[in-house]
Structure 1
């Protein structure tokens, strides 16, 4: 089968694109590609699809574990506990509800979007 399309960027609706891009830039080490008050993007440096954030007026944050979830991101990490601690220090939150029986950790970014941290060994 021939490839018709390849994922280039995951775009996240949010209230403050620059602030959310800054959080994920610190979390991933990716380079800021562009930023203004309505849009910001991060370049994964050839490691796959990038991330972008677009301002949506009246944006409602996702709720976890129930409610208006739209999507979430999964990130692999080499040190799960260490990554959780560092991301909490950057402004992430850790919801009480944690599915997966300790196989991964769910956090929310500063604007309420859930994302998961998965040990790199579990992702292989």
Structure 2
């Protein structure tokens, strides 16, 4: 096994980036939901997160198509799993911020599946 030396480039995790039609709107949702500040904003890209920590990025795609999960005709590209202490309270807060509760809920007593404003599924889990 190779050891880390100056000749081996360091690789670090910076962010997960989601495609969407409106980066500012999706960044607003996750910024408020997770209590993260906007770290960078351009017309086509917004990054939320704290300096020195991984963040979430949102990239404008002109022909963006919302995922149709659980139907796979337009597949989900990724999803987040967020930990919460109270499923009902967290779900109500996220819906108030613009999320939608998914129709399919396989484990509603332990996990809730929601869709962010751009249609990406994400889970809140005890």
- Trace 1:20-31 onto structure 2 (pairs within 5 A): 20-31=26-37
**What is the CA–CA distance in structure 1 between the aligned matches of 2:99 and 2:71, rounded to whole Å?**
18
Is the 8 Å Cα contact of residues 31 and 45 (structure 1) preserved in structure 2? no
TM-score, normalising length: structure 2? 0.85
- 4+ residue stretches of structure 1 with deviation over 2 A? 1-6
Q: Relative to structure 1, is the Cα distance of residues 82 and 33 closer, same or farther in structure 2, using a 3 angstrom cutoff?
A: same
**What is the CA–CA distance in structure 1 between the aligned matches of 2:107 and 2:81, rounded to whole Å?**
13
C-alpha root-mean-square deviation of aligned residues, in Å?
1.8
Which residue of 98, 105, 118 maps to 2:105?
A: 98
Which residue of 35, 58, 66 maps to 1:61?
A: 66
Is the 8 Å Cα contact of residues 48 and 56 (structure 2) preserved in structure 1? yes
Give structure 1 stretches of 5+ with no counterpart: 120-124
Instruction: Identify the residue that residue 117 of structure 1 maps to in structure 2.
Output: 124
**What is the CA–CA distance in structure 1 between the aligned matches of 2:51 and 2:16, rounded to whole Å?**
14
Q: CA deviation at 1:39?
A: 0.4
Aligned residues: 118
SS in 1 for 2:82: strand
Between structure 1 and structure 2, the one with the greater Rg is 2
Give structure 2 stretches of 5+ with no counterpart: 5-9
